Amino acid sequence: MAEFNATPDFSGAFANAGALPSNVPCRLIETSREQWLRVAEALRAAEGMLLALWGHDERDGGQGFLVYASYLTAQGLLVARLCLRNGDERFPSLARLFPCAVRMERALHDLLGVASDQDDERGWLRHFGWPREFFPLRGENRLQTSFPPTPEPYPFVSVEGEGVHEIAVGPIHAGIIEPGHFRFSVVGEKVLRLEERLGYTHKGAAKRFQTLSLAAGHRLAARLCGDSSVAYAWAYCAALEALSATVVPPRALWLRALALEHERLANHLGDLGALGNDAGFAVGLTQFSRLKEDLLRLNQAALGARYLFNFVQPGGVECDLDPKWATDLPRFYSHLDTELEQMRSIYDEHAGLQDRFRGAGVLSTATARRLGALGLAARASAIPLDLRVDYAIAPYDRMRTKIVTQDAGDVAARVVVRFQECLEAMRLCQRLLEQLPSGDIHSAPRVAPSGALATGIIEGWRGPVMVALQAGPSQSIRHCHVHDPSWQNWPLLEYAILGNIVPDFPLINKSFNLAYSGQDG
Amino acid sequence: MFDVLTRILRTGICSEPLPRIETEQAANLQQRIWAVLGRALCIRQVDAGSCNGCELELHALNNPYYNLEGAGIKFVASPRHADLLLVTGPVSVNMEEALLRAYEAVPHPKLVVALGDCAACGGIFGESYATRGGVSRVLPVDRVVNGCPPAPPDILRAILEAAQGKRQALAAATAT
């Protein structure tokens, strides 16, 4: 792999870096502290985006702590690696260039005890369930360590002024929703500031991975974010397959894509109903929840489960598709297509709904770009970013996926993107079935060389899900980092809510529908 | 408006019958809940570190097929209004305090159902620096529903069974 010493220009960083196994074009670059920042500056200038930031304890290998950053670039995924030697526990913050780095750097400190030089020293994943000096990802610390809770304060940023008051919401919310805390500073009903506090569902996933074998890790990956289990499991398996040079049979890849599009469809259907409900239109909820249930039952019949937690397996998929579905599934899509068109017309023409949707929670293109918005949220703010097109892996390289974008960046735009992505997902499913290759659905995974590192990346329904996986001895997991696009997209909500009224928050929040557990890890 | 009404009419009623539980027909039980409580059985759900999978299946219970409210059971926003606490997740240490506070706020007799493999025993996450390894490590649990995630009929059956327990507990309280 390339060691950069004398090359001052990092605009060509991708081309000059060493290859890293992945399901997409991927390179690894070793950096010094200065180069760590220079690479980031060059990528910022070239409109690259910071995707994930994570770290690993390599002190037992004599290397110190390793800090990784992965970037989406025009050519592919670039991973930068910085080695902190001789007991060094600080690294240069990327937050000045990429604001989304703030929380990832805070989380990295909580887990590994290496700190960036940014100002915010509050814990992100560590609340008060384990001591400040316990860093779970350090080799000497064991997963099964239990601590009594010792409450400590968490200072929110306060807003001062005449008539300003705070509203604290969560971690338990009014409905059946994942836990998180929202601190609103308001005047009257108008929101002046929102500060999110997450991490409530942190389950020690990164440490848990280290106790599993490579062959079992996909089960945990699929259970980190229940609404995106196919994307997570596929990203994990893609990394493992790249690591072990396992060739997945085409039929299995086509079936994975079918499952991924069903997952996209199910989430969009659920959210379209919930968005109607949050705007006071209960018929929307009953109709869409009925359509979603139809799809889940179809999943059960055709793919073996309502939620496909176990469908994607290393080397292939869990079960084959019976030939009868080649005609039965398209019949369902055509039925759903008609229903969706009718519901879209109802949503479009309902004055009350449109009044709530339009102009609510606007995320401007400029803000979205500055904050590094990903996936659905980016596309609704006129940023055409979709890895199914940008880094088209098989079978998406043959699907001519249409990127759905909207310009307005408001709730209405995110609703339209969801409607259109439902239609596009069904078109993709049709094509997948038409082209479904024959043959095996599984190939035996090969041996992964100890110490080797690989990445896997899949465009889930929210945006790109990335897994970085390193093999340990005897087919164990040395380290595994899973990244959810919600890391980038949660801060967007803090901007989209500004100037809106508090009662519109549930609607605006739902239009993004970001992951709590996926982010908390 | 016409489109909306046409659509409602054309969809019709698609609710399915309630599942049978051990000793009696669920529909009969519903009447008995009503007789004892004089109102619906109220559930407060708490996500104590779930992956969101169990929550998705709880949403499904409110769809027209399972029609939970039609059975006289509803989800409420405040634990103070709840008869039953439905807990998902392995109990992340970051949610432990919130869960305990919600439990304290539920009036007696506090029924607790642990939903899903994680809530049952910690599931794939087990017990660690970040998780307590199941709801029973933190709260007394009346009933456990296994599954990852459990299917809606299984959840419905467990809630109905717990409701039956509630009826018996209330009857005992009235007798003494």
Please give the pLDDT value at position B160: 80
A283 vs B contacts (CB less than 8 Å): 4, 7-8
Domain membership of residue B116 (yes or no) is yes
Give dist(CA A334, CA A305) in Å, integer.
22
Q: Do A176 and B45 touch (CB under 8 A)?
A: yes
Any domain includes B126 = yes
Convert A344-368 into a string of H (helix), E (strand) and C (coil).
Answer: HHHHHHCHHHHHHHCCCCCCCHHHH
Instruction: Kindly state whether residues A294 and A399 are assigned to the same domain.
Output: yes
CA distance, residue A77 to nearest chain B CA (Å)? 27
Q: Tell me the pLDDT of chain B averaged across its residues.
A: 87
- A290 CB neighbours in chain B (<8 A) are 11, 14, 63-65
Q: Which of A74, A90, A116 is the last residue of a domain?
A: A116
Q: What is the CATH number of the domain that holds A80?
A: 3.30.460.80
Closest-CA distance of chain A to residue B22, Å: 25
Query: A138 near A131, Cβ under 8 Å?
Result: no
- C-alpha span between A263 and A233 (Å, rounded): 12
What's residue A284's pLDDT? Answer: 96
Element housing B20 (H / E) = none
Q: Do B53 and A309 touch (CB under 8 A)?
A: yes
A399 and A431 in contact (C-beta within 8 Å)? yes
ipTM, two decimals, is: 0.93
Residue A147 within a domain: no
Say if residue A43's pLDDT is above 60. Answer: yes
Give the domain-ending residue among A100, A116, A132.
A116
- Domain with A83 in it: 13-116
Residue A63 lies in a domain: yes
Min Cα distance B160 → chain A (Å) is 19
Distance from first CA to last CA of chain B, Å, rounded? 55
Output phi, psi for A498, to 5 deg. -55, 130
Helical H segments across A372-480, by residue range: 375-379, 387-390, 411-435
Query: Is B25's pLDDT higher than 70?
Result: no
Q: A245: alpha, beta or left, given left = phi > 0 and alpha = psi -120 to 50?
A: left
Chain A CB contacts of B100 below 8 Å: none
Domain membership of residue B84 (yes or no) is: yes
- Closest CB to B52 among A174, A178, A286: A178
Structure confidence at residue B176 (pLDDT): 59
A247-294 per-position pLDDT tens digit: 999 999 999 999 999 999 999 999 999 999 999 999 999 999 999 999
- Note whether A108 and A236 are same-domain residues: no
Q: Do residues A106 and A225 share a domain?
A: no
B52 contacts in chain A (CB < 8 Å): 178, 225-227, 515-518
Structural domains counted in chain A:
2
Residue B2 lies in a domain: no
Q: What one-letter code names the amino acid at A509?
A: N
A103 and A238 fall within a common domain: no
Regarding whether A234 and A112 lie in a shared domain, the answer is no
Cβ A515–B52 below 8 Å, yes or no?
yes
Question: Which pLDDT score, from 0 to 100, does residue A8 have?
Answer: 43
Domain assignment present for A274: yes
Is a pLDDT exceeding 90 seen at residue B40? no
State the nearest Cα–Cα gap between B37 and chain A, in angstroms.
23
Beta sheet of A453-459, edge-to-edge order: A453-459, A464-471, A477-483
Separate counts of helices (H) and strands (E) for chain A: 17, 15
Cβ neighbours of A515 in B, within 8 Å: 52
What is the full DSSP assignment across A54-78? EEEEEGGGTSEEEEEEEEE-SSSEE
**Domain total of chain B:** 1
| Alpha carbons A118 and A108: distance in angstroms, whole number | 13
pLDDT tens for each residue of A158-202: 999 999 999 999 999 989 999 999 999 999 999 999 999 999 999
Q: Hey, is the C-beta of B28 within 8 angstroms of any chain A C-beta? A: no
With beta carbons under 8 A apart, name residues in chain A contacting B13.
none
A242 to A19, A66, A214, A236: CA distances (angstroms)? 12, 21, 12, 10
Q: Domain of A238: which CATH number?
A: 1.10.645.10
- Taking only residues 126 to 145 of chain B, the set having a beta carbon closer than 8 angstroms to any beta carbon of chain A reads 126-132
The burial class, CB within 10 Å (0-12 / 13-18 / 19+), for B122 is: buried
pLDDT tens by residue, A85-111 = 988 999 999 999 999 999 999 999 999
Per-residue pLDDT tens digits for A380-404: 999 999 999 999 999 999 999 999 9
**DSSP-H helix ranges across A101-228:** 101-112, 205-209, 217-221
**Band of residue B26 on the pLDDT scale cut at 50, 70, 90:** low
Q: How far is CA A349 from CA A62, A167, A288, A418, in A?
A: 65, 34, 17, 17
Indicate the SS3 state at residue A184.
strand
Q: Are A291 and A262 in contact (CB under 8 A)?
A: no
Instruction: Look at residues A381, A412, A417, A415 and name the one whose alpha carbon lies nearest to residue A402.
Output: A417
- Other CB atoms within a 10 A radius of the CB of residue A45 amount to 11
Q: Is residue A182 part of a domain?
A: no
Residue B22 belongs to a domain? no
In a domain, residue B12? The reply is no
DSSP H or E stretch at residue A458: strand A453-459
Residue A458 lies in a domain: yes
CB contact under 8 A, B54 and A290: no
* pLDDT (average), residues A116-133: 93
- Chain A residue numbers with beta carbons less than 8 Å from the beta carbon of B134 are none
Residues A87 and A65: their CA atoms lie apart, in Å, by 8
Same structural domain for residues A102 and A232?
A: no
B51:A517 CB<8 A: yes
pLDDT above 50 for B139: yes
Q: How confident is the model at residue A3 (pLDDT cuts 50, 70, 90)?
A: very low
Taking the Cβ of residue B124 and every Cβ of chain A, the question of whether any pair is shorter than 8 Å is answered with yes
B-chain CB neighbours of A130 within 8 Å are 93, 129-130
β A64-72/A181-187 pair status: unpaired
> Closest approach of chain B CAs to the CA of A227, in angstroms?
6
Contact criterion met (CB below 8 Å) for A175 and B74: no
Would residue A509 count as lying in a domain? yes
Q: How many CB pairs under 8 A join A and B?
A: 174
Q: Is residue A505 part of a domain?
A: yes
The position carrying tokens 């705007």 is A279
Residue B61 is assigned to a structural domain of this protein:
yes
Q: Do B3 and A345 touch (CB under 8 A)?
A: yes
Q: CATH code at B84?
A: 3.40.50.12280
* Interface residue B153 vs chain A (CB under 8 A): no
* B13 domain residue, yes or no: no
> How many angstroms separate the CA atoms of A197 and A517, rounded?
13
Q: Do A207 and B89 touch (CB under 8 A)?
A: no
Burial class (CB in 10 A: 0-12, 13-18, 19+), A400: exposed
CB contact under 8 A, B3 and A283: no
Residue showing tokens 């970051």: B94
pLDDT score of A49 more than 50: yes
The domain boundary residue, chosen from A86, A116, A146: A116
Domain membership of residue B104 as a residue range: 46-175
Is A343 contained in some domain? yes
Confidence band of A10 (pLDDT split at 50, 70, 90): low
pLDDT tens digit sequence for B78-115 = 999 999 999 999 999 999 999 999 999 999 888 999 99
| Shared-domain flag, residues A332 and A445 | yes
Q: Does B13 touch chain A (CB under 8 A)?
A: no
DSSP for residue A143: S
Query: Which residues of chain A lie closer than 8 angstroms to B55, CB-CB?
Result: 176-178, 226
